[in-house]
Amino acid sequence: MINVTKSFLPPLEEYVKYLEGIWERGHLTNHGPLVNELEEKLRLFLGVKHFFFVNNGTIAIQIAIKALDLRGEIITTPFSYVATTSSIAWENCTPVFVDIDPANFTIDASKIEAAITPATTAILATHVYGIPCAVKEIEAIAAKHKLKVIYDAAHAFGVKQDGKGIMNYGDISTLSFHATKLFHTVEGGAIMTNDDTLGHRIGYMRNFGHKGQEDFWGIGINGKSSEFHAAMGLCVFPQIEAILESRKTLSLAYDQCLDELKVNVKRPRLPKGTHYNYAYYPVVFESEKQLLSVRDNLNAAYIYPRRYFYPSLHTLPYVKPGIVLSEAESVSARVLCLPLYHELPVDSIKKICHIIAEVLKYE
């Protein structure tokens, strides 16, 4: 069986070594030494000033919205995982969807200004599949209209734009370290900012607002992670270059195989100046019918690609209905993420490409 992804598991002995340390110290959670060590390593690797390890990527977005004290309308992308939209609604803000750029599937910056109203307070966009949003254009629009910018960077671990770590763009970036992500801590996430005032707020907010044992800075929530999760991160971290390298090799193998078989699928185009992380391998078919036929044929061979991301988020039952976003609807109906993980054999890639080529001959 080949799934769309497979979690990276480090050698068990390495994890056990960390467990022995936890047993010795008896310090299981609440900012233990492993959490501190992982935070510092990731902060340096991603090149940001403030880095907060939290218990998942969804609470990271929720705390980001709280830390910026956002209300009213938040302009966002319909093409992302559901957590991008649900976090906005959960924090009692209104998601306002702007269509995506058909070239790279991130929010179409040229359409943002038309969606701004007096109630707009922020833009929350996703570097979907690790592809950077139009960060320069978004920065200019935000400055002009005094809006805050949050990037859901859940897919963008290790991505750089114009030589700069992608987490440096916007007021706050968030990450997910869920087991299915490229770098993971089983469950986990992070909030990053270069702004000292925001960093200060986020530090308190993720720990119930505690300022010492008996004093409180203000309102907070439980965003903390544990030593066990940090230990997994510390085991995966030394492998990150190898993980990134293997994903690149496998993605290029897909490119070559699809090209040789003259398979007619569309691939997102990276912006100029992107150092990419090969987080996913999405392909867009000519029609949803083609996609479903390819999926069924792959499933028959015990291969399970995923419809990331479907449906388009502006059709969720809890958002205001009626808006039409033709690019997002069209891409989400036709895009399939093919299996991609560090130990996927190139032979499996060839088999997947051959099945797709065969199906498309008759569709």
Ligand X SMILES: *Cc1c(COP(=O)(O)O)cnc(C)c1O
User: Which residue, 158, 147, 238, 148, is CA-closest to 190?
Assistant: 158
Residue (134 or 313) nearer to ligand X, CB? 313
Residue 295 makes contact with ligand X by CB under 6 A: no
CA 327 to chain centre: 20
Q: How far apart are CA 83 and CA 77, in angstroms?
A: 11
Residue 81 makes contact with ligand X by CB under 6 A: yes
Query: Could you say which residues in the range 183-202 bind ligand X, by CB under 6 A?
Result: 189
Residue (160 or 229) nearer to ligand X, CB? 229
Query: Could you say which residues in the range 144-163 bind ligand X, by CB under 6 A?
Result: 152, 154-155
User: Which residue, 3, 66, 39, is CA-closest to 233?
Assistant: 39
Q: How far is the CB of 174 from ligand X (least distance, A)?
A: 7
Residue 83 makes contact with ligand X by CB under 6 A: yes
Q: How far is the CB of 56 from ligand X (least distance, A)?
A: 4
Among 76, 80, 168, 332, binds ligand X (CB under 6 A): 80
Among 5, 76, 84, 185, binds ligand X (CB under 6 A): 84
Q: How far is the CB of 88 from ligand X (least distance, A)?
A: 12
One character per residue 25-64, x = contact with ligand X (rule: CB under 6 A): -------------------------------xxx------
Q: How far apart are CA 65 and CA 75, in angstroms?
A: 12
Give SS3 for 71.
Answer: coil
Q: Which residue is nearest to ligand X (CB)?
A: 57
Residue (80 or 168) nearer to ligand X, CB? 80
Among 76, 85, 86, 176, binds ligand X (CB under 6 A): 176
Q: How far apart are CA 70 and CA 308, in angstroms?
A: 28
* Contact call for residues 41 and 237 (beta carbons, < 8 A): yes
Instruction: List residues bridging with 336 in a β-sheet.
Output: 283
Q: How far apart are CA 69 and CA 301, in angstroms?
A: 49
For 36, 58, 62, 74, the CA distances from 91, given in Å and listed in that order, are 28, 12, 7, 11
Give SS3 for 194.
Answer: coil
Q: How far is the CB of 179 from ligand X (least distance, A)?
A: 9
Contact residues for ligand X, defined by CB under 6 A: 56-58, 80-81, 83-84, 126, 152, 154-155, 176, 178, 189
